[in-house]
A and B are shown apart, each in its own frame.
Chain A
């Protein structure tokens, strides 16, 4: 047993941090008119789009690398939709064998993919008559991808163009959501097993939880630094125990998410699909429970300035709320965990 990232993973983390820092947001004004795909070329040329490409059945890199990169991108508040349009779209298509040859365009950075989610944003969508929401789209070009279950029970990956899609007012200023155009025909691709789908879901849950952990860690680091400079009553506010305890609790909350994410990230490829999904739901449940409250604690510690549009603090809160809702919040995860442990209802 070795519950710590190894040397190679440590090196990857450093690379991920560098990449993320170069395509992140540090000031609220950075986001004005910014193209979320501005960083796509950086991701593409760094070779991280293909982490989940499978050759001989196994992905190039495990869930751990995806989680490390998601964490770094969350910390940097990067608007590049890597998790949806890179890791998850590639994972899904690659698991299906990419029978139509969709991946080369995606990996070259020329075709952009988004995931079609249900209107509740809690799973992949695609039921006829239900418009759903696109996660990972950044313009009304490229494709939406999802899975469709045939009358024969066969699960098949499918795509359709999103020309005519409309941008929604996402709560997160660094995560766009789009409304798909009036339904176009799905182009069917390869098939997936239920295990594939479970592992895909595990990767999505883990990536979102990792993104939350990264964002919260960066937010806390920022406000702790601020507490060492801001003076009130003649002393640094970071010396007040009331302030210290809020920060300490935030640290504990983030470490709890990180411990659960590390295990879930490893489990995605290494454990049985059931166990991988349970580990991922555990991580997502911790992230969902701790995400918004921890981001709120950071806003509180910044005081008045932390409540303003011009301050970066609300970007983290928005991102944490976004991550929480996608693929189901705490209760949704707990319900599924209860079913797994106690038997279904």
Chain B
């Protein structure tokens, strides 16, 4: 056991820190539109890629640097400490699905531009009638010659309006048991018959979308893996989505806590013993998420695949983020009511769906009970 940086890690951290000092954009002031935030994230994604910091733990043959997964923890920490824009999340988990289940042609075609940020992804999993019970999805893909024809209605396609491609789950075998008849497809967002309708979330921003597939035709080569592999692919994708390191959670938590501490110091709120306790508690919650991510990355560095332990981290990460947002509301006091702290209000509403997406907080508890504790199914 050694939480210290190895010589390679220390060197990497030092180089990264210097690079961040040069490249992190100046903090914005005032309100920004969702499109501006998305543009800033994309620009940061490309910048990171140019710097060599995207896909660093990926195999060299797929455009990565083949570094240890522990470098991702360092990137997470330093990106947050530098108050940089958020790390791109989709690379981590959609990219992994391609890496693990795609064929060589798909990997070669999609992984490099995914890493570089040239291709932005979204995820077409949920439907109006299939959220937590994802396997009930009814979008269908019918094989017609060299093509599949996809029809259905997807919900919660996050960042769909900024995406170029979508990983879509569709039922290819209506007669198979519900987990078995699902397949995964790579679908361009500009396909004929595909119509996207933004969904405005509670913070007022169109962060997600619903997508209608009306006979969308994709070549047979758009199928990932084999027919019927869709469930396996989806579960792998969400397992990575649940890893706090893959979605940049440590970075975000560190950054938000540091900002809130500075705010509390500037208003004199840190003289209040209760505020001090709550800020310290927020630090403790963030530390737990960080340390658990370090354990999980260390485990991954030994070659172990991501498993159900991601659900434990997801529950803790969600609680940490939501509690921090509550504290921010409290410490900004009347400003959150009078519209003088729009970022804080927006951030608060952004943390609400965390206990819903990627498997709701209740689904995570089901996974922990049945898969980790081995409790019997109802």
Q: Interface of A with B (CB < 8 Å)? A: 1-6, 9, 64, 220, 224, 227-228, 235-236, 238-241, 243-245, 247-249, 251-252, 255-256, 259-260, 262-263, 266-267, 270, 282, 285-286, 331, 333-335, 337-339, 341-343, 345
Contact = CB atoms under 8 A, between A and B. Distances in A.
A338 B294 CA distance: 24
A252 B5 CA distance: 27
B3 A1 contact: yes
Contact of B315 (A252, A285, A286, A335): A252
Nearest to B368: A248
B376 interface: yes
A288 to B, nearest CB: 10
Contacts of A337: 280, 283-284
A247 B372 CA distance: 11
Sort A-B residue pairs by CB-CB distance and give the 8 closest, nearest first.
A244-B369, A338-B276, A248-B365, A248-B368, A334-B280, A3-B294, A337-B280, A338-B280
Contacts of A259: 288, 291-292, 295
A244 B376 CA distance: 9
Given A3-B1, A244-B366, A262 B295 contact: yes
B370 interface: yes
Contacts of A228: 374-376
B177 interface: no
B2 interface: yes
B5 to A, nearest CB: 6
A135 to B, nearest CB: 25
Contacts of A343: 270
Given A251-B368, A259-B288, A342 B298 contact: no
Nearest to B295: A3
B2 A266 contact: yes
A235 B270 CA distance: 53
Nearest to A285: B284
Among A220, A260, A337, A338, chain B packs the most CB atoms within 10 A around the CB of A338
B376 A1 contact: no
B327 to A, nearest CB: 13
Interface string B79-99: 000000000000000000000
Given A3-B298, A255-B292, A338-B280, A282 B6 contact: no
B1 A244 contact: no
B261 A342 contact: yes
B227 interface: no
Nearest to B5: A1
Contacts of A241: 366, 378
